[in-house]
Each structure stands twice: as C-alpha cells, then as structure tokens.
Amino acid sequence: MPGIKNQVTANGMPPATGALGMLKALAHLTRPLFLAGGIIAYSIGALLARYEGFIIDLPLYIAGQMAVTSIQLMGHYANEYWDVEYDRPNRNRTFLTGGSGVLPEGALQRRAALRASLLCALTALLLMAYLTLIFRIGAIPLILFAAGMAGTWLYSAPPLSLEKTGYGELSVALTLSLILPLLSYVLQAGRISMSAIFVSAPLVPMAWAMIAIFDYPDLQSDLETGKMTFLARLGCKRTTKIIAAALFCSYALLIPLLLVGLFTTALLATLTLPAALLTIVSLRRVTNGSKSYGSLVMLALVTFSATAILEALGLFISA
C-alpha cells in the first residue's frame, strides 16, 4: 500500500494530513460565499419589522442568524457528502457549481463532511432551544425553523433527495427567499403579516431561476449519473423559457409592494432588471452551445443578490 507522501489528489495536491491540513481542506469545502445569501435574506425580515416601527432586539437577531447559518452549513456539508458521486465526473465545475471538489479529489475523507453536517445540525438545534428558553419565541418561529431545516437536509439527503426529483430548486428558493425573511420578521414582530409576504415574494422566483441556472454547467454529469434535476428532466430549451418567465415574474411581484407603501424598496429592486436581461441573453447562448458557464453563473448570482440587497436597502431607507 503506497505511503501517504506518494498520494495526490486530482489537482495534484496531497490529501489533507494533520490538523492544519484538515482545517484548510474543510475551509475549501465550506465555500463561505454561499452563506451570504442567507445573511441578506434574513436581514430583510428584520428591516421590514424596523420599518413598521418595531425596535430590533439585537441579541435575538444575532442568535437567530447563528441558527440560520448553522442550518445553511448543515445543508452545504450534507450536499457535498451525498453528491460526491455526481460531482466526481463533472468537467464544467465553476466557483459556485459542481461542488467544491474536495471530496471527489480525495483531499478530505467523505465522512468528514457528514460529521461536519451533523455537528452543524446539533448546533442549530441547541440555538433553537436557546431561543425558546431565553427569548420565548413561540410556535411560529419554531415551525419556520423546522421547515427550513427539513427542506435544507432533504434537498440532497435520503429519503427524498429533492435535488433528484426536479423539486430541489423550488425547495431552496422557498427556504432562502420566503422562510428566512418571514422567520426574521416574526422573531422581531411576533406575528406574520401580508407585508412580509409581499416583500419576500419577488425573491422566490428569482432564487428559483438562479438555482436552476446553477444546474447548467452540471447538466452533462447529472445526466451521466442519473441526477434528474429540473433541467435534466425538461431539457435546456424548455427550462430556459421557464427561467426567463420566472425572472419577469419577479419584477411583476414588486408591484404589490406599492400597496403597502414600500415605493422606495420596489423602485430600487427594479434597478437589477438590466442584469436579469443579460442573464437571459447569456442563458440563451449557453442553450445554443456556448460554454460560458462562469459568466452565466455570475450573472444569475449578481441578479438575485443585488435585488435582495436593494430590497434591504430600500427598507432601511424607508424606515
């Protein structure tokens, strides 16, 4: 059996050895950029509560964000663990899609990702218990936490493995763009309101479009390994049309914000429309054979992230 010094990963790097090597591999596995979406979406609910006159309970906000981030990390590590065989043959990996590459390349043992996922799940549960005992958050936030946690875990994990059913994209979109803002709002306001739903609604189809676009670089390997995402089931041309419709639907859903007086929020969010149009143009090019996956993924990410940030900014200014 060859010594560890003679073993290398697919990118020429040796497997992680020692505490420092494992920490470096785990950091690469984590890809912190993924956490930004949860931070932004969570802030929207609290900013809406502030706009409506509620005083933000900062310790409660921070504890809730820590629980949300723990759930995100749980799902992220679980996805790396369960998707290793789907990610291994991927030849079009980008900075956001196709996994980190750490597990398929052997830089870190697969079970380390599962252990990290379970540790994050335990952390989330402990934080939820803390929120219940110390802040008396009530049933609605706990239901939202449970729904978000279940959807995040079952995205890639059995028995549902939603990512292989064509519903995984919707699960992520609902968790990120609906559950998180509602959770943050309810923690501060103590109730659910139509304004919270109006603010969250435009981000749901946009998040779905972004996640569906992330499947394009992985399409060939997904088909080869039987991972039947929404894109793999419907094909590029039909999916491209649905994504374009979803993006336009997002901007149409900004109109109800005017009914609750959030004119500034709606106006700022529409500023990302040119980015959405560029995303559709890039998507059509990829559908017609272009391999510019990196720019497509970046445009989808910028369109969603900028829209969410501008919504948050609009709420902050309005307050």
Residue 156 contacts residue 83 (beta carbons within 8 Å): yes
Q: What is the pLDDT of residue 195?
A: 95
CA distance linking residue 177 with residue 298, whole number of Å: 19
Give me the residue spans of the domains in the chain: 18-318
Residue with tokens 């060859």: 2
The CATH code of the domain at 18-318 is 1.10.600
- Would residue 193 be called left, alpha or beta, if left means φ above 0 and alpha means ψ between -120 and 50 degrees? beta
CA distance linking residue 143 with residue 140, whole number of Å: 5
| 3-state class percentages of the chain: helix first, strand second, coil last, to nearest 5 | 75, 0, 25
Q: What is the pLDDT of residue 6?
A: 38
Give the largest Cα separation in the chain, rounded. 70
Query: Could you tell me which of 312, 315, 319 has the C-alpha nearest to residue 39?
Result: 312
Q: What is the pLDDT of residue 3?
A: 39
Six token digits for residue 211: 């996640």
Alpha carbon of 32 to those of 37, 48, 61, 95: distances in Å? 10, 26, 20, 12
Q: What is the pLDDT of residue 174?
A: 97
pTM of the model: 0.91
Contacts of 275 (CB under 8 A, 6+ apart): 299, 302, 303, 306
Residue 308 contacts residue 254 (beta carbons within 8 Å): no
Give mean pLDDT in consecutive 10-residue pieces for the chain, a chain of 319 residues.
39 54 80 90 98 97 98 95 90 84 85 94 98 96 97 96 96 97 97 95 98 95 94 96 98 94 96 98 95 95 97 95
Q: What is the pLDDT of residue 9?
A: 45
